[in-house]
A and B are shown apart, each in its own frame.
Chain A
Amino acid sequence: MGIRFVLMVNKQGQTRLAQYYEYLTVEERRTLEGEIVRKCLARNEHQCSFVEHRNYKIVYRRYASLFFLVGVDDGENELAILEFIHLLVETMDRHFGNVCELDIMFHLEKVHFMLEEMVMNGCIVETGKANILTPIQLMDKTS
């Protein structure tokens, strides 16, 4: 499995989105998130975006006040994951228009939906922004 989890965490270390592609108990998730956040948020922008943690490799990127952290298998292509994060941000930006932390907080479901369009079972299945957003726009229209 390529991608194991996607986290969005703000500067204060509060989780804004957590999507796991393998089952972990609530307790395991909390400790894992705590460890990762402590590890990654302490790093500065002159340091690289890859952190090894337990048996994961964490690829992260910071956009304004929000950290995007993706846990992947060891063999995964780190740069591709960085591109994936960027694609996700761009997609959200296109949908929300100048996306910010609040958008993600209040439209968590939509963000989850976008992620579902992009990643299934840890594999990236869709990389076209338009394709990702079509179903969401359809849903917006009907509701």
Chain B
Amino acid sequence: MAGSSSSSIMDNLFQRTLDDLIKSMRLQLLTESSFITKSIEDIRREIKSTDPQTKSTALQKLTYLSAIHGVDMSWAAFHVVEVMSSSLFSHKRIGYHAASVSFHDQTPVLLLITNQLRKDLSSTNHFHASLALHCLSTIATLDLARDLTPDLFNLLSSSRVFIRNRAIAVVLRVFDKYPDAVRVCFKRLVENLESSDPQVVTAVVGVFCELSCKDPRSYLPLAPEFYRILVDSKNNWVLIKVLKIFARLAPLEPRLGKRIVEPICEHIRRSGAKSLVFECVRTVITSLSDHESAVKLAVSKIRELLVDQDPNLRYLGLHALSVAAPKHLWAVLENKDAVVKSLDDEDSNIKIESLRLLMAMVSESNVVEISRVLLNYALKSDPEFCNEILGSILTTCGRNVYEIIVDFDWYVSLLGEMATIPHCQKGEEIENQLTDIGMRVKDARLQLVRVARDLLIDPALLGNVYLHRILCASAWVAGEYVELASNPLELIDALVQPRANLLPPSFRAVYINSVLKVLSFCLDCYINQDEGTASSYCSNFAGRHSEMSDVKKDTETPELAATCESSTYEQDEDFNPRHSTAESSDDLSVENGIDRVVTRFSKRNFTHESVVSLLNRIESIFGSLTANQDVEVLERARNILAFVQLIKADIIDNSGQNVDKKYTQVSTVIKSIRDAFSMELGPVSVSAQGRVAVPDGLVLKENLDDLKAICGDTEPPSSSSFYAGGPHFGTTLDASSSNPLKNAESGPSNESTSLLEHRKRHGLYYLASDKSETIPDDYPPANDPKSNSNEADELAKLTEQSLLLRKKTNQMKSRPVVVKLDDGDVAPIPYKRPEPRDSSLSGAIKEALLGSETHQSLSLDKSSTKRKGKKKQGTNIPSEMKENLGDAEKLDPENLNSSSKSKERRRRGKEKIVEGEESDQRGKKKSSHRHGRHKTHQRANSPLNVVSQTPVIPDFLL
């Protein structure tokens, strides 16, 4: 006993205060972390002291360390409670502050503080009460809120303003946690709106502003009070909050807009406070867009902001414009010069805002031009903004299943062009769109294959990891739609080029699978053509066959492949894939002046030797892949090899003379492989998985946490592939996934020889090589950015032309069919989130408002005789109001539905939509599944504002 008390005295004497702590930390005698560790040790000892001074100082230090240096203080929760219960204000304050910093809903000791809080709330010392209120406002839980609601109720009408406005602010948290408190406290809260004390009004308006976020409709009956504040208040803070409330109420009740528009315009004209003016402007453009003169006034204010020196105001001006854009495109047009100028701003935030605005202007008629200019802009921007631009083009164009795209050939080429921009990091999105367009838009496939070919054929692109996904998609497209390719052999060459081993295994596997598709297609063509027109080729083959049979003994030797290839490709030696992005091979052949090429090369003509050499080459290349570590790659490579070996002998044996007989066996094999790929793939609905019944015995929701312990330390591989880690592959999992070069080839010597050999054969796939054998990794510029020096002017001109919403007369072709699924296969992109509905809270508030209307009016009568008449009318509202609100809510889904249908109809006029029977059934289903469907429709059609209903809501403002 003596020992402990003496130690506590010692502690007290030599305890470091918070000031000491801060000072010695500034001296930095120790490193920060070791100093903190040491201090925490001290605190842990001191905080157990029986001396309240020592204890509270220790807690104070701990709170400081926690707030500034992020030290955990959850272990001290009980000590916090102890210090809170001190009767000394200075100690109590430390305790309460610590509690509000460190307590949260799960803190166990919260159960212990209810009585302490109650005691302090009802304390005569209003500083004590204030501390408790502050604490409650940050840590109140359901239990605390429920237990302390009566005390709070008392404080709401406290005569001390100091306490009352704090109690009002606490109400927000209490309502949130315990909606039933509304029944008790709401009436008093509303009474406070009438208060003559500005402090109280500030607090209560703040609370209503937050409450009205959730369910604005419930607060419509309070509109007269808010209106009075809007007109009378001189406090800008309060006015801003009231404006926010009105911005939410006005769309619900058209007559309200008429009343408030004049006072708001008055504020815009009169007020010198930019914050208030800006808030007025924002309110007008969001909620009062029907009032033309007000909008004009607001837009003129926006213009002032746009040309201001202050970047803050410029930013806000752009922000306001983008809010206005959907309803008032003219406002954007009027200020387009300023918007375009902002694209060059020093501040990236302003640039992004201006980009958003430009994207808001995009429509069917100008998407081509705007994208073109933005793409040029992206070329010379810094990587971050470049990707911002690319991202927004992709999202805008891809929205609602490519709603605004008419010319898909153009768009597909644009995607290809994006991929070649050096900073492009949007691989995933471009990948998705390329495959998606392939599946959805039949007419775009030809161009898609061309673009894919151009991307695949360029070895430089393989060096950029961000593009791997795009290349993967290109490979898939090339394989899937190979029948549209102008030169399938070229595709195979591109797919098997040595640098393909830079790809991660999962993408490599796609490449290999595409090779199989293209190969089977080529063979199929070859055999069919032989069967059909065999005789014409016979003479051709006869001569060559002798030399073929000579070399066939050593088919694996590269020389053979080399000779065959050189003969196949000699005619386009000077062909450079980079300069012919949009040209088809037909143009090319004409260019070269060799007409023969067309016959030999164009789609369906394969010579016997080219096919044989192709088979040989594939065999030699995929032979090396059979030692690959990745099972996906391994298996697909083996599949191809097996296929080639199966048919090769037969094909080579054929002298070409009596093809039709001998090919029968091979052709059935090829045909069956071909058939396997012939089924067209379509888009898959996101909800498709949901329609698959879960088989018996399959537990989908089983807790897999146990697995974490097992695979916690290993990072999941980026691909969904497995690794066959054989004994001779010493590499770890991580190394193999991060270093594709190492594992893709079985050995370095093998790689270099194959590379050299490939290079020799296909010089055309490489950029002019240096003396050294290094492959250039850097990018050639996709477009020359220098030529677009006067970007801003160009864009300005462009916007001038294209934003006039003119009809495009020279539209050559109509929009192709875009396959859509019935139930919104892509998650619709919400323009605006559906309002969160806090049903219990809003229900309680409605009840409180409507139920207490009579009380309220009584109290109001007392307070203002002038408005007695107005209020009288107000008292008639409740019953009527209740019904109306109910009606309104019932009406809601129907309104949404009908408007969505009309939208649908409009769209159908423009384009053909392959849509299921959903729209027909919609009407029937509506009645039975109203509630469920309501939600989905609201999401799907969220661009619609909540349509203002016409039920009779009495005019509160008369």
Contacts and interface: CB of A to CB of B under 8 A. Distances in A.
A116 B162 CA distance: 12
- Chain B residues touching A, range: 35 or more
A94 to B, nearest CB: 19
A82 interface: yes
B734 to A, nearest CB: 25
A29 interface: yes
B70 interface: yes
B165 A126 contact: yes
B643 interface: no
Interface stretch (B202-210, B874-882, B930-938): B202-210
A120 B349 contact: no
Contacts of B162: 135
A56 interface: no
Contact of A80 (B64, B210, B279, B315): B279
B274 A124 contact: no
Residue with the greatest number of chain A CB neighbours at <10 A, chosen from B64, B70, B278, B349: B70
B203 A112 contact: no
B90 interface: yes
Interface string B90-115: 10011001000000110000000000
A18 B89 CA distance: 23
B22 interface: yes
Contact of A127 (B70, B105, B138, B237): B237
Contact of A2 (B70, B206, B347): B206
B127 interface: yes
A143 B93 CA distance: 13
Contacts of B169: 120-121, 123, 125
Contacts of A23: 104-105, 138
B279 A46 contact: no
B916 to A, nearest CB: 36
A126 B163 CA distance: 12
Contacts of B209: 2, 123
Interface in A94-137: 105-106, 108-109, 112-113, 116, 120-128, 131, 135
B349 A50 contact: yes
Contacts of A127: 202, 235, 237
Nearest to B71: A26
B202 A125 contact: yes
A126 B70 contact: no
Contact of A135 (B127, B236, B240, B348): B127
A12 interface: no
B278 A123 contact: no
A79 B213 CA distance: 20
Contacts of A48: 311-312, 314-315, 347, 349-350
A27 B71 CA distance: 9
Interface in B259-276: 274-275
Interface in B313-362: 314-316, 346-350
Interface string A16-43: 1110010100110110000000000001
Interface string B285-323: 000000000000000000000000001101110000000
A78 interface: yes
B173 A121 contact: yes
A16 B206 contact: no
B382 interface: no
A65 interface: no
B234 to A, nearest CB: 12
Contacts of B173: 121
Interface string B196-218: 00010011001101100100000
A52 interface: yes
Give the secondary structure class of B's interface.
helix
A51 interface: yes
A82 B312 contact: yes
Residue with the greatest number of chain A CB neighbours at <10 A, chosen from B19, B64, B138: B138
A80 B105 contact: no
A30 B69 CA distance: 8
B236 A80 contact: yes
Contacts of A77: 240, 244, 275, 278-279, 282
A83 B70 contact: no
A50 B275 contact: no
B352 to A, nearest CB: 9
Interface string A80-99: 10110000000000000000
Given A47-B349, A80-B240, A120 B316 contact: no
B274 A106 contact: no
Give the secondary structure class of A's interface.
mixed
B346 A121 contact: no
B453 interface: no
Contacts of A112: 97
B165 A125 contact: yes
Given A26-B70, A50-B312, A80-B240, A125 B199 contact: yes
A80 B72 contact: no
B312 A120 contact: no
A142 B182 CA distance: 38
A25 B66 CA distance: 11
Contacts of B60: 109
A120 to B, nearest CB: 4
B172 interface: yes
Given A21-B138, A29-B70, A127-B202, A50 B315 contact: yes
Interface string B228-253: 00000001110010001000000000
A56 B595 CA distance: 65
A131 B19 contact: no
Nearest to B172: A121
Nearest to A26: B70
A79 B90 CA distance: 36
A80 B275 contact: yes
A30 B70 contact: yes
A106 to B, nearest CB: 6
B170 interface: yes
Residue with the greatest number of chain B CB neighbours at <10 A, chosen from A15, A52, A116: A116
A122 to B, nearest CB: 8
B203 A123 contact: yes
A51 B162 CA distance: 35
Contact of A125 (B66, B89, B203, B311): B203
B137 interface: yes
Contacts of B279: 77, 80
A50 B237 CA distance: 19
Given A112-B97, A123-B169, A78 B312 contact: yes
B244 to A, nearest CB: 7
A75 B210 contact: no
Interface string A32-72: 00000000000110111111100000000000000000000
Given A16-B68, A23-B105, A123-B203, A83 B275 contact: yes
B692 to A, nearest CB: 35
B311 A46 contact: yes
A91 to B, nearest CB: 15
Interface in B45-72: 60, 64, 66-68, 70-72
13 contacts: A21-B138, A26-B66, A26-B71, A30-B70, A46-B311, A46-B346, A116-B134, A120-B169, A121-B137, A121-B172, A125-B165, A127-B235, A135-B130
Interface of B: 19, 22, 60, 64, 66-68, 70-72, 89-90, 93-94, 97, 104-105, 127, 130, 133-134, 137-138, 162, 165-166, 168-170, 172-173, 199, 202-203, 206-207, 209-210, 213, 235-237, 240, 244, 274-275, 278-279, 282, 311-312, 314-316, 346-350
**6 pairs of A and B residues whose beta carbons are closest in the complex:** A79-B275, A123-B206, A120-B169, A47-B347, A48-B311, A48-B315
Given A49-B312, A75-B213, 14 more contacts: A1-B210, A2-B209, A17-B67, A23-B138, A26-B70, A50-B312, A50-B315, A77-B244, A77-B279, A80-B237, A120-B170, A121-B170, A122-B210, A127-B237
Interface of A: 1-2, 15-18, 21, 23, 26-27, 29-30, 43-44, 46-52, 75, 77-80, 82-83, 105-106, 108-109, 112-113, 116, 120-128, 131, 135, 138-139, 142-143
